[in-house]
Amino acid sequence: MRRIQVVVFTSLFISILSFGGRLQAQDPVFSQFFSSPMNLNPAFAGTTYSPRIALNYRNQWSSIFNAYVTYAVSYDQYFENLNSGIGFSALIDKAGDGIYNTGAFNLTYAYRLPITDEIFIKGGVQAGMYQVSLDWDRLVFLDQLDPMEGPINVSEENRPEELSKSVFDVSSGILVYSPMFYAGITLHHLNTPNQSLLNVNQGLLDGLPMRLTLHGGAQISLTRNNNNKFKTFISPNIMYSKQDAFQQVNLGTYVGLGPIYTGVWFRHTFSNPDAAIFLIGYSKGIFKIGYSYDWTVSKLQAQSNGSHELSIILNFDGGKKRKPDYNDCLKIFR
C-alpha cells in the first residue's frame, strides 16, 4: 500500500511540476491563524510591546502517507521610538512524507499610524527567500514496478538538473483595529516567484500564484476582572483566502474564559464543505498553548484521520508586574 501511495504522489507531483502555474500547490494555511499572526499578515508585527515568539505545528491528513506536515516559528516586537514592529518568521512544509519540501524565511516591518485615539492602521511588508527541494531518489515511477517482484526496475524518467531552488519573495498587508473590531488584507507572493524545478512547458509557468487573504473580527466582553480589564469575552472572526483557483473561508468564534480559551470554526473551500475545527487552550503569564483538531467532513473523511495543530505563544508582556493595557481587540493574537 505504501508503494502505491508513493507512485500516486509521484504522478501527481510530476504533473504539478510539468504544468507549473496552472497546477500549483497551495500555501499551507493554519487553522489557528490567530496563533501564527505574521504568516497571516505582516502588519501584525509589533502588536505586543515586549518580544513575542510563536511556534506552530500542523499535521494534515496524517493517515494519507503523511500528506502535509508544517512547522512555523516567528519572533517580533514593537519599537516605540520607531513607532514600528520588526520581526522574523520561518515556515517549513513537508509534503508526501518529506519527498517535496517548501520553506519561507522572511524579515517583516510594520508601521503603526493612529487615525483617532482608539483606531489605528498598520501597514506591513515582508521580504525574504522562498525555497523548494525534492528528494528525487525516493520517488517511485510506474515503469519501475514489476507485477511480480515489485519496484526493481530503473526508471527512464529524466532527473531534473535542479533538485532545490531559492527565489526572492515579497508580501504586504494592512491592518485596521480598534477596541471593538479588527480587519486586514494581505497580498502574499506579490512578485509571483518562479519556483519550478522543471524547465518544461515554459509558456505555462506563471510562477507561484499570488495569494489574497482577508480577515476580520470583533471582541465582545462578557465580564471584567478586578483590574477593570476584560476577562471573559467572545471573538467572532472570519478568514478568507484565495490562491489561483483555490478558495477557502474559515468562519467561527473564539471564546476566552480567563486562563482557558476555546473555539469552533467551519472551513469551506467553495467546491465542497471541508472541515469543522475545534480548539482548546490555556494561557498563563507569558505562556499560551493551544490544540485544535480539524474534523474532515468532505469525501476524505474516512481516509484522512483529520488534521492536528499545536501552537505555542510566548508573549513577554505577560510576565510584567504591570501588564500593558492594549486598548484593542487583538487579544486572540497574543
Longest dimension (CA), the chain: 75
* Higher per-residue pLDDT: 67 or 332: 332
Tens digit of each residue's pLDDT (9 = 90 or more) over 213-246 = 999 999 999 876 555 455 799 999 999 999 999 9
Domain hosting residue 260, numbered range: 2-156+163-333
Quick check: 11 pLDDT over 70? no
Instruction: Give the C-alpha separation, 262 to 247, whole Å.
Output: 26
Please give the pLDDT value at position 323: 76
Please give the pLDDT value at position 231: 77
- Could you tell me the pLDDT band of residue 74, with boundaries at 50, 70 and 90? very high
Please give the pLDDT value at position 152: 67
What 13-20 contacts at long range (C-beta under 8 Å, 24+ apart), as own/partner pairs, is 13/96, 13/99, 13/100, 13/134, 13/139, 14/157, 17/160, 17/196, 17/197, 17/198, 18/198, 18/200, 18/201, 19/201, 19/204, 20/194, 20/196, 20/198, 20/201, 20/204, 20/205, 20/206, 20/207
Tens digit of each residue's pLDDT (9 = 90 or more) over 16-45 = 444 343 345 589 999 999 999 999 999 999
Alpha-helical runs (H) found in 31-114: 37-40
Alpha-helical runs (H) found in the chain: 2-19, 37-40, 301-304
Please give the pLDDT value at position 33: 97
Quick check: 284 pLDDT over 90? yes
What 267-276 contacts at long range (C-beta under 8 Å, 24+ apart), as own/partner pairs, is 267/31, 267/294, 269/298, 272/298, 272/299, 273/297, 273/298, 274/248, 274/298, 275/31, 275/306, 275/307
Q: Please tell me the pTM assigned to this model.
A: 0.87
Helix, strand, or coil (residue 199): coil
Domain harbouring 16, CATH code: 2.40.160.40
- Could you tell me the pLDDT band of residue 49, with boundaries at 50, 70 and 90? very high
**Average model confidence (pLDDT) for the chain?**
86
Q: 10 Å Cβ neighbour count for 149? A: 8
Quick check: 205 pLDDT over 70? no
* Higher per-residue pLDDT: 219 or 151: 219
Looking at residues 236-257, what average pLDDT do you find?
Answer: 96
The mean-pLDDT minimum among 10-14, 82-86, 169-173, 178-182 falls in 10-14
Instruction: Give the C-alpha separation, 184 to 305, whole Å.
Output: 32
* Higher per-residue pLDDT: 305 or 300: 305
Looking at residues 66-82, what average pLDDT do you find?
Answer: 93
Pairing of strands 220-224, 211-218: unpaired
Looking at residues 279-292, what average pLDDT do you find?
Answer: 97
How many separate domains does the chain show? Answer: 1
Quick check: 65 pLDDT over 90? no
Quick check: 142 pLDDT over 90? no
Please give the pLDDT value at position 271: 87
- Could you tell me the pLDDT band of residue 150, with boundaries at 50, 70 and 90? low
